[in-house]
Amino acid sequence: MHVPVSITINGRQYSRDVEPRLLLVHLIRDVLGLTGTKVGCDTSQCGSCTVLIDGVAAKSCTCLAVQADGTSVTTIEGMAGDEGLHPLQESFWNKHGLQCGYCTPGMIMASHELLRCNPDPSDEEIRHGLEGNFCRCTGYQNIVRAVRDAAGSATGGAQ
Amino acid sequence: MFAPQFDYYRAGSVAEAAALLAEHPEAKLLAGGHSLIPLLKLRLAAPSALVDIGRIDSLRSIREESGTIEIGALTTHSELASSELLRSRATALAEAAGMIGDPAVRNRGTIGGNVAHADPASDLPAVLACLGAEFRVTGGNGDRSVGASDFFEGLMSTAIGEGDILTSIGIPTVDSACGSAYAKFAHPASRYAVIGAAAALVVDEDGSCTCASVTLGGLVPAPVRATAVEEALVGTRLDAAAIASASGLTGDALDADDVLGDVYASAEYRRSVAQVWVQRALSSAAARCG
């Protein structure tokens, strides 16, 4: 069986016939070629596949593409605007919130969710808010600094 | 990981979902997918079809009606955790929902999917059993309401039968002299409950405990009431000494043969430390009474 899905990703509409078992992350990466979103653990623990579905963070390895039919999805490629990088991207850069960078797309989408729900988080709230995202390089210190920095300059902004 | 192939049908209403289930008896219901999709990917389940009920908006609400808080099966953990009604009237449920997984998981996972899956390491079954929840089921066998002790039949097993749909969960409302809480020993990586303890307490005007409900999850196949702890609390003033003394009876509720263990925490260890989490839940619940 193939099912038609129509999903807006980063403002552009895509229509495809997909197998029901196709995961959203595989639609994004393999079918549409948007490889910014990563697959890490593939078991909804590590958060590297985090995207926004209708503005709300979700783990795209644990969502079928058919479940996202008709929604508007934002991936890391959709964060930067015409004026340049998103404030969270700027902050991760400025505060060295990454080393290898593999977790970074998911980390930034999860940070966006955190600031959407809590625009002025404490360090402890940042750590709790990002507990579904694993980083194996930084020890998280600079990620917390980056999110704190971004909270001071903006509160999200991606659509 | 790729799930086995299955067909997919989207239901626009409960009646349509029931008809699809009747037409495809081997189909599984899909809500948020946070229990089912991992099972499919690990190939622990291979249904011929999924019936997606995730867009039936009438199943997504929290409202109070005639002495009951009625929670639609599609209500997400995020919605449970942030509900002012639950935070004030069924505190343990909001508290437990806020401890599930992480924010992105809580945005998609639903209360109905969670309890239908009945994972012993899940948080909500113990809390719902503690709060006296009733599970509303419709479908093949007609409409019925099932109490928690009958609903959770065992390891990943519930009273939901073939063709049935869990539509909502009702929790009896309580007066302001009640307090409830959930305390969890979370696995550090998965955030699943190694031990979960839920407590609900009622006190009279003098601060004396008139009713206690204490339920354990995480370390047993299905939620277990700690009746010895409950009985020891009634009549006390819920001071630290009374709570410590009653919590010490936690082991009586746990049949050593039933306690689950794994490489992270043995059954013996879990059974020994469960009383600590019962004590913490009781202390929080007592502080919320009045």
Domain end, chosen from B171, B191, B224, is at B171
Is B162 contained in some domain?
yes
Q: How confident is the model at residue A155 (pLDDT cuts 50, 70, 90)?
A: very low
Q: Are residues B153 and B231 in the same domain?
A: no
Task: Note down the domain range covering B116.
Answer: 65-171
- State residue B176's pLDDT score: 63
Is A63 close to B108, i.e. CB distance below 8 A?
yes
Domains located in chain A, CATH noted: 3-76 (3.10.20.30), 87-153 (1.10.150.120)
SS3 B183: strand
Q: What per-residue confidence (pLDDT) applies to A157?
A: 43
Q: Rounded CA gap, B175 and A141, in Å?
A: 45
Identify the CATH number of the domain in which residue B102 sits: 3.30.465.10
Task: Assess whether B183 and B167 both reside in one domain.
Answer: no
The percent of residues in chain A predicted with pLDDT above 70, rounded, is 96
- The answer to whether the CB atoms of A132 and B103 lie below 8 A apart is yes
B63 near B104, Cβ under 8 Å? no
Question: Is the Cβ pair B104, A47 closer than 8 Å?
Answer: yes
Pick from A3, A56, A131: CB nearest B102: A131
DSSP for A19-62 reads: -TT-BHHHIIIIIT--TTS--SSSSSSS-TTEEEETTEEEEGGG
Asked if B163 and B213 sit in the same domain, the reply is no
Say if residue B220 is in the same domain as residue B248: yes
Whether chain A has a CB inside 8 Å of the CB on B37: the answer is: yes
Query: Residue B50 carries which side chain, given as an amino acid letter?
Result: L
Count CB-CB contacts under 10 A for residue B235.
Answer: 11
Residue B253 per-residue DSSP state: G
Residue B232 lies in a domain: yes
Residue among B38, B54, B102 minimizing CB distance to A43: B38
Q: With a cut of 80, say whether residue A3 has pLDDT above it.
A: yes
In this structure, is residue B1 part of a structural domain? no
Q: Are residues B41 and B83 in the same domain?
A: no
Distance to chain A for B236, nearest Cα, Å: 36
With an 8 Å Cβ cutoff, is B54 touching chain A? Answer: yes
* 290 residues of chain B, pLDDT tens digit each: 889 999 999 999 999 999 999 999 999 999 999 999 999 999 999 999 999 999 999 999 999 998 999 999 999 999 999 999 999 999 999 999 999 999 999 999 999 999 999 999 999 999 999 999 999 999 877 899 999 999 999 999 999 999 999 999 999 987 667 999 999 999 988 889 999 999 999 999 999 999 999 999 999 999 999 999 999 999 999 999 999 999 999 999 999 899 999 999 999 999 999 999 999 999 999 999 97
Q: Which residues pair with B186 in a beta bridge?
A: B193
- B235 assigned to some structural domain: yes
Which of B96, B119, B114 lies closest to B222, judged by CA? B119
Q: Domains in chain B: how many in total?
A: 3
Return the structure tokens found at B219.
């370390």
- What CATH number did the domain enclosing B249 receive? 3.30.390.50
Question: Is residue B93 located within the same domain as residue B185?
Answer: no
Cβ contacts of A3 on chain B, cutoff 8 Å: 8
Burial (CB count within 10 angstroms: exposed 0-12, middle 13-18, buried 19+), residue B260:
middle
What is the per-residue pLDDT for B139?
86
Does the structure show a pLDDT above 50 at A68?
Answer: yes
Q: Tell whether B161 and B190 lie within a shared domain.
A: no
Position B81 in a domain: yes
Q: Is B98 on the interface with A (CB under 8 A)?
A: no
- The reply to whether B244 and B280 lie within a common domain is yes
Question: Residues of B with CB below 8 A from A113's CB?
Answer: 103-104, 107
Residue B58 covered by a domain: no
User: Is residue B154 included in any domain, yes or no?
Assistant: yes
Q: At CB < 8 Å, which residues of chain A contact B?
A: 1, 3, 19-21, 23, 42-45, 47, 50, 56-59, 62-64, 66-67, 110, 113-114, 117, 129, 131-133
Q: For chain A, first and last CA: distance in Å?
A: 33
- Do B159 and B239 lie in one domain? The reply is no
Q: Kindly state whether residues B73 and B163 are assigned to the same domain.
A: yes
A-facing residues of B in 235-254 (CB < 8 A) are none
Same domain, B161 and B183: no
- For β-strands B144-147 and B152-154, DSSP reports them as unpaired
In the predicted model, is pLDDT for residue A53 greater than 80?
A: yes
Task: Report yes or no on B202 lying in a domain.
Answer: yes
